[in-house]
C-alpha cells in the first residue's frame, strides 16, 4: 500500500519513539551499549534478567546509574525498569512460590500478600514494572512453556489468582503486566522456538483463554499493562499473523471489544516465532514496526544490541515514510507516560539515596519478614496427591533412604534459561535442577542416612539392598519423558516390600492415568524444584507436616 511521505524526523519525534521500546543488556554493571541506547536513542524502558542480578545492593546501584544517565540525557521522565522473574536468590529477593504453587494453597488472600511483599522488595531496589501475572489457562498439559507458570486449568480460578497478583503488585507500587494475551495455555509449541497455532474460534476463546484477561482489564483498577504473546489465532484473525503483530488482536479485541485503555507491551521479539525466518518469522526489526502498527505501545527486545539499534532505526524509517503514524505513537506515548507517573514518580523519587547502611538495615528487616511469609506459603502449597495414610515415612536407624533424581536437560526455556546463559557447546540447555536436587538430598540426609542416585535413560537400575528402608523417587515432567516412568517402574518392581514416595518436582502431570500405583506408593507434589519447595515437601514426607495443598489442574 502507498504511504504518505513525511519530513525527516525531529529530535522530539526520536525521543517519542524511544519511549516505545524496552531493551535488555548483559552483565552486572551498566554496559556501554545500554548507556548508548538511553543517551542517543532515548530508550524509555529497561528490562533486567537473571544475567543482571547478583545481589540486591548491586541491582539497586545499576538501576540508580541507569536513571542518572536518563536524567543527564534530557529524558522528560525516569525510566521504567522491568523484571522477568529472576530476582529471587539468597543474596537478592525472597523466593516465593510460583503461580501453580500459589494456586495449590487455595488462598487468594495469601497470593495477594505474597505479591505485595514481592513488590516491596522490587520497589526498594528501583524496579517498577513486573512482567506478571501469567494469566494463561494451562489447558494443554503438554504445554512446554507455560506449565507451572500458570495458576491452573480452570479459567475462573486462574482469573481469581491473576487478579490477586495484579492487585498485590499494584499495592506495592509496581506495575503488573498480564501475559500472554490472548492466551498461550492451549498449545504444545514453545514460541521461543516456533510459532504456536491456536485454532479456537473467538467464542471458544471467550469461554477459556479470555476469561482471566477479561477480569484483569475490567477490574475496578484495571491491570497497568498487558503483554501480548507470539501465537497465531486463525479463528480470531483469519490468518496466521502472530498476535503480537496483529491489529485485530490489539486494536480490535483488546482495545475496542474489551475496552482496555492502558499500556500494551509485546513479549520479546527475539523469540524464534518472530525472529527466525525459517520458522516463518518476519525478523526482529520488521516485527518492531509491525507490532507498533498493530497498536502495541511498547516493543520488547531483550538480548542483542544490533537488533536494538536496528529496531529503532526501522521504526524511524517507518514513521518517515508514513507506514507508522506518529500521532498514534503519541497517543500510545501518553499511556506510557501515565504509567510512569503512577509507578515511577519523578527524578527525586528514583535518585534519592539514604546510604548503604540504611538500605542494608531496611533490606535485612524486609527479607526477614518476607521469609516468614514465604515459609508459610510453601507449607500451604505442598500437596499429597494420594497415599496420605503412608506418611510420614518411618525409617529405622540402621536403614537408609534411597533418593532417585532425574538427570535431564531443560524442558522449559522460559523457566530454566530465559537468558540463554546455561547452554553447552552443542547448544543444548544443561540440567538446571541439579543444585536443587542436591539440596533435597541434604535435607533428607538430616532425617536419615541417604544414598542419592541420579538416574538416566541409559543406565540400569541401581541395586537396592536390604539396607534400604524407604525410597523417594523424584520425577520432573515425566509425562513428556517416558524414560523416567520406565525407570520408576523398574524401581517399583524391586521395592515390593519397601515404602516408596513419588515426588512430582515440577508439573503435576507425571502420573496421569497411573491409578494402579495408588496402593503401592504415596505421591506428593512440590510444583517447583526450589530449595524452599523441597523444604516444605520434606516436612510432609518425613516430619508429619500436613500436606495442605491441592493440585490446581486435572490429573
Cis check for the bond before 94: say yes or no (omega within 30 of 0): no
Bridge partners, 521 (sequence order): 500
CATH of 382-542, one of 3.40.50, 1.10.3470, 3.30.1360, 3.30.1050: 3.40.50
Cα torsion 352, 354, 360, 361: sign: negative
Weakly modelled stretches of the chain, pLDDT under 50: 1-3, 411-425, 427-430, 432
- CA dist 500 and 117 (Å) reads 37
pLDDT at 416: 43
Q: Could you say which DSSP state residue 348 is in?
A: H
Domain boundaries 11-360, corresponding CATH code: 3.20.20.300
* Sheet strand arrangement including 383-386: 383-386, 521-525, 500-504, 468-475, 400-406, 450-455
- CA 172 to each of CA 120, 121, 124, 411: distance values in angstroms, whole numbers, following the listed order: 5, 9, 10, 33
What residues contact 451, with CB distance under 8 A and at least 6 apart? 400, 401, 402, 403, 468
- CA dist 488 and 455 (Å) reads 10
Output the DSSP codes for 484-525: HHHHHHHHHHT-TTS-EEEEE-S-TTTTTT-GGGTTTEEEEE
SS3 153: coil
Taking alpha carbons only, the member of 465, 529, 468, 532 closest to residue 503 is: 529
- CA 218 to each of CA 203, 254, 361: distance values in angstroms, whole numbers, following the listed order: 19, 11, 40
Asked if 503 and 540 touch (Cβ cutoff 8 Å), the reply is no
- CA dist 431 and 410 (Å) reads 6
State how beta strands 521-525 and 500-504 pair.
Answer: parallel
What residues contact 270, with CB distance under 8 A and at least 6 apart? 284, 301, 302, 303, 304, 307
Name the residue ranges covered by the structural domains of the chain: 11-360, 382-542
All three cell numbers of 372:
516468614
Element (H, E) at 406: strand 400-406
Taking alpha carbons only, the member of 53, 33, 37 closest to residue 45 is: 37
Asked if 415 and 436 touch (Cβ cutoff 8 Å), the reply is no
Is the backbone of residue 189 left (phi > 0), alpha (psi -120 to 50) or beta?
Answer: beta
Asked if 295 and 329 touch (Cβ cutoff 8 Å), the reply is no
Asked if 421 and 86 touch (Cβ cutoff 8 Å), the reply is no
Per-residue pLDDT of 508-549, as tens digits, reads 999 988 889 999 999 999 999 999 999 999 999 999 999 999
At 444, give phi and psi (nearest 5°).
-70, -35
Q: In degrees, to the nearest 5, what angle opens at C-alpha 253 toward C-alphas 250 and 255?
A: 65
What residues contact 446, with CB distance under 8 A and at least 6 apart? none
- CA dist 72 and 86 (Å) reads 29
Taking alpha carbons only, the member of 312, 250, 303 closest to residue 21 is: 312
At 522, give phi and psi (nearest 5°).
-105, 150
All three cell numbers of 511:
502420573
pLDDT at 178: 97
Q: How many CB atoms lie within 10 A of CB 362?
A: 12
- CA dist 173 and 368 (Å) reads 20
SS3 546: coil
All three cell numbers of 351:
535518585
Q: Could you say which DSSP state residue 430 is in?
A: P
Amino acid at each position: 500500500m502507498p504511504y504518505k511521505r513525511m519530513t525527516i524526523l525531529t529530535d522530539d519525534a526520536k525521543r517519542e519513539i524511544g519511549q516505545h521500546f524496552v531493551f535488555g543488556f548483559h552483565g552486572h554493571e551498566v554496559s556501554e551499549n545500554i548507556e548508548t541506547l538511553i543517551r542517543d536513542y532515548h530508550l524509555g524502558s529497561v528490562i533486567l534478567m537473571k544475567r543482571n542480578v547478583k545481589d540486591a545492593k548491586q541491582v539497586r546501584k545499576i538501576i540508580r546509574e541507569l536513571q542518572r544517565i536518563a536524567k543527564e540525557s534530557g529524558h522528560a521522565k525516569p525510566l521504567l525498569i522491568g523484571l522477568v522473574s529472576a530476582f529471587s536468590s539468597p543474596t537478592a529477593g525472597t523466593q516465593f512460590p510460583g503461580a501453580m504453587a500459589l494456586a495449590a494453597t487455595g488462598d487468594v488472600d495469601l497470593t495477594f500478600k505474597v505479591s505485595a511483599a514481592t513488590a516491596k522488595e522490587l520497589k526498594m531496589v528501583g524496579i517498577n514494572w513486573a512482567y506478571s501475572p501469567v494469566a494463561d489457562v494451562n489447558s494443554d498439559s503438554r504445554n512446554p512453556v507455560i506449565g507451572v507458570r500458570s495458576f491452573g486449568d480452570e479459567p475462573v480460578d486462574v482469573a481469581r489468582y491473576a487478579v490477586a497478583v495484579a492487585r498485590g503488585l499494584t499495592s506495592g507500587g509496581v506495575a503488573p503486566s498480564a501475559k500472554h494475551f490472548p492466551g498461550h495455555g492451549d498449545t504444545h509449541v514453545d514460541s521461543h522456538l516456533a510459532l504456536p497455532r491456536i485454532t479456537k474460534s473467538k467464542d471458544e476463546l471467550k469461554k477459556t483463554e479470555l476469561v482471566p484477561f477479561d477480569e484483569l482489564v475490567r477490574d475496578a483498577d484495571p491491570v497497568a499493562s498487558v503483554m501480548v504473546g507470539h501465537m497465531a489465532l486463525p479463528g480470531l484473525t483469519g490468518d496466521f499473523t502472530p498476535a503480537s503483530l496483529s491489529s485485530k488482536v490489539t486494536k480490535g479485541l483488546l482495545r475496542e471489544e474489551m475496552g482496555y485503555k492502558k499500556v500494551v507491551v509485546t513479549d520479546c521479539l527475539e523469540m524464534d516465532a518472530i525472529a527466525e525466518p525459517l520458522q516463518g518469522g518476519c525478523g526482529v526489526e520488521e516485527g518492531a514496526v509491525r507490532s507498533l502498527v498493530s497498536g502495541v505501545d511498547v516493543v520488547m527486545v531483550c538480548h542483542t544490541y544490533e537488533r536494538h539499534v536496528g529496531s529503532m532505526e526501522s521504526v524511524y524509517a517507518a514513521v518517515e515514510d508514513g507506514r507508522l503514524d506518529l500521532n498514534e505513537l503519541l497517543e500510545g506515548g501518553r499511556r506510557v507516560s501515565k504509567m510512569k507517573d503512577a509507578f515511577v514518580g519523578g527524578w527525586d523519587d528514583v535518585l534519592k539515596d539514604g546510604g548503604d547502611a540504611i538500605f542494608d538495615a531496611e533490606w535485612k528487616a524486609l527479607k526477614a519478614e518476607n521469609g516468614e511469609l514465604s515459609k508459610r506459603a510453601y507449607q500451604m502449597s505442598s500437596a499429597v496427591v494420594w497415599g496420605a495414610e503412608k506418611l510420614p515415612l518411618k525409617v529405622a536407624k540402621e536403614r537408609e533412604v534411597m533418593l532417585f533424581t532425574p538427570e535431564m536437560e531443560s524442558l522449559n526455556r522460559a523457566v530454566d534459561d530465559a537468558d540463554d546463559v546455561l547452554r553447552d557447546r552443542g547448544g543444548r540447555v544443561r540440567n538446571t535442577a541439579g543444585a536443587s536436587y542436591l539440596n533435597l538430598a541434604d535435607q533428607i540426609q538430616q532425617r536419615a542416612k541417604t544414598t542419592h542416585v541420579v538416574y538416566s535413560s541409559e543406565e540400569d537400575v541401581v541395586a537396592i539392598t536390604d539396607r534400604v528402608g524407604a525410597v523417594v523417587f523424584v520425577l520432573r515432567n515425566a509425562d513428556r519423558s517416558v524414560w523416567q516412568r520406565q525407570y520408576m517402574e523398574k524401581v517399583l518392581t524391586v521395592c515390593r516390600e519397601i515404602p516408596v514416595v513419588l515426588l512430582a518436582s515440577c508439573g503435576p502431570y507425571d502420573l496421569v492415568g497411573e491409578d494402579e500405583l495408588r496402593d503401592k506408593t504415596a505421591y506428593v507434589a512440590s510444583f517447583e524444584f526450589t530449595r524452599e519447595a523441597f523444604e516444605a515437601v520434606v516436612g510432609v514426607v518425613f516430619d508429619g507436616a500436613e500436606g495442605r495443598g491441592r493440585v490446581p489442574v486435572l490429573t
